[in-house]
Amino acid sequence: MEIKQLSTYVGRLLTLLSFGFLGYLLTRLDLSKLTIYITPLALFYSLILMIFFAAIYFFNASAWRDMLKLISGKNVTVSAIPIYLETVVMKYLPGNIFQFLGRHQLSKKSDLTHKEILLSNSLEILFLLLSVLILLVSGGLFFDFSFEIFGYQLDRVKISLFFVLLLIGVGGVLYAKGITHYFLNHKRLIVMILIKNTLFLFGSALTLVAILDLIVGVDFDMRSFFYLLFVAWLAWLLGFVVPGSPGGIGIRESVYVVLLPPILHLTQESILAGALYYRIVSIGGEALTYVASKLFPKRD
C-alpha cells in the first residue's frame, strides 16, 4: 500500500472517530442548554463575523498571487485573486482537492501554465504549514501552559519540541523539492507571503475568540486568551492536514471540546455551542468569498 493511500485511509479513520466522539458527546450532553445561545443578537454577531471571515481570505488570495509570481517569474494580474476566492468553498466537496483544481481556470485567462499553477498550489500548502508551525512553536516557547490528552501531560518543552520537529520536517520537504533557492533569491516576497498567511491564521483564531466572547460569554484573562489562540491554531493545523475531512469538519470541533473546557472553566455544552457557531460562521464566510469573487475586478 502506498503512503499516500495509507494516509488517506488514516485520515478517513480519524475523521470517523472525530464524528463518533462528537456523536457520543451529544448523547451525554444536555442539548437544551444550547438553545440559550440562539438569540437575535447572536445571529447578528454571526453575520458580522461571516463578513470578517470572508475578508481575511483576501490575505491568502494575495499570498497565492505572490506565489504565482515567485514560481513563474511573470507579472501576475489581479485576476488571480477572484479565482482564488471563487474556489475557497469548493474544499467542502468530497476529495478535498477541488479548490485546487478550480484555480487552473487561470491558465485560460493568462499566460500561466498548469504546471506553474500546480506548483503554486503545492507551495501554498507548505507556506500555510510553515506559518502555523511558527505560531505554534512561538506559543509553546513563550506561553507557559500545558494540557492533558488521554492521560498524557504535555508541557511547554514537549509542545515546543514536537512543533520544532514538524517545522524541520516542512523545511526538509522544501529542500527536497528544490524550493529553497526561491527563499534565497526572493527574500522580500517570501516574507510578504508568510506575513499574509499569518494574518489569515490570526484572523481565523480571532473569529473563534469573538464568538466565545460575544455569543458564549467567556471572560478572558491574558493567559486564557493566548491559550485559546494556541488551541485555535492547533485545531486549524489538524483540520488542514488530515485527509478525508473537508474543511476540517469534525476534527477541529473535537479539539475545541477536548482542550478548551479546562482552561476556560466552561461546560462542554458551552464549548460545543461556540464550536458550532464557529463552523457556521466559517462556512458562511467562505460562501461569501464566492460572492466577493463575482464583485472583484477581473483585470488590472
Domain boundaries, position 9: 3-26+38-295
Task: Report how far residue 42's alpha carbon sits from residue 278's, in angstroms, rounded to the nearest whole number.
Answer: 12
5-14, 154-163, 232-241: which has the minimum mean pLDDT? 5-14
Q: How many Cα atoms are found within 13 Å in the side-chain-facing hemisphere of 188? A: 1
Task: Report how far residue 202's alpha carbon sits from residue 56's, in angstroms, rounded to the nearest whole number.
Answer: 9
- Any domain includes 300: no
162-176, 196-210, 238-252: which has the minimum mean pLDDT? 162-176
CA nearest to 42, candidates 265, 252, 280 = 280
Please, are residues 222 and 144 in contact by the beta-carbon 8 Å criterion?
Answer: no
Q: What is the pLDDT of residue 181?
A: 64
What is the number of structural domains in the chain?
1
Please, are residues 130 and 194 in contact by the beta-carbon 8 Å criterion?
Answer: yes
Q: How far is CA 71 from the centre of its chain?
A: 23
- Any domain includes 128: yes
Q: How many Cα atoms are found within 13 Å in the side-chain-facing hemisphere of 243? A: 11
- pTM for the whole structure: 0.85
Average pLDDT over residues 213-229: 87
C-alpha triplet 185, 187, 193: angle, nearest 5°? 125
Please, are residues 237 and 1 in contact by the beta-carbon 8 Å criterion?
Answer: no
- Any domain includes 225: yes
Helices (H), the chain: 3-28, 40-72, 80-87, 98-102, 106-109, 114-142, 156-176, 180-185, 187-211, 222-241, 251-264, 268-295
- Any domain includes 103: yes
Average pLDDT over residues 252-257: 87
**Better pLDDT: 167 or 295:** 295
Q: Is the pLDDT of residue 211 over 80?
A: yes
- Any domain includes 224: yes
- Any domain includes 33: no
Q: Is the pLDDT of residue 44 over 90?
A: yes
CA nearest to 214, candidates 32, 1, 52 = 52
Which cell numbers hold the place of 141?
Answer: 516557547
Instruction: For residue 154, give the H/E element and its range.
Output: strand 152-154
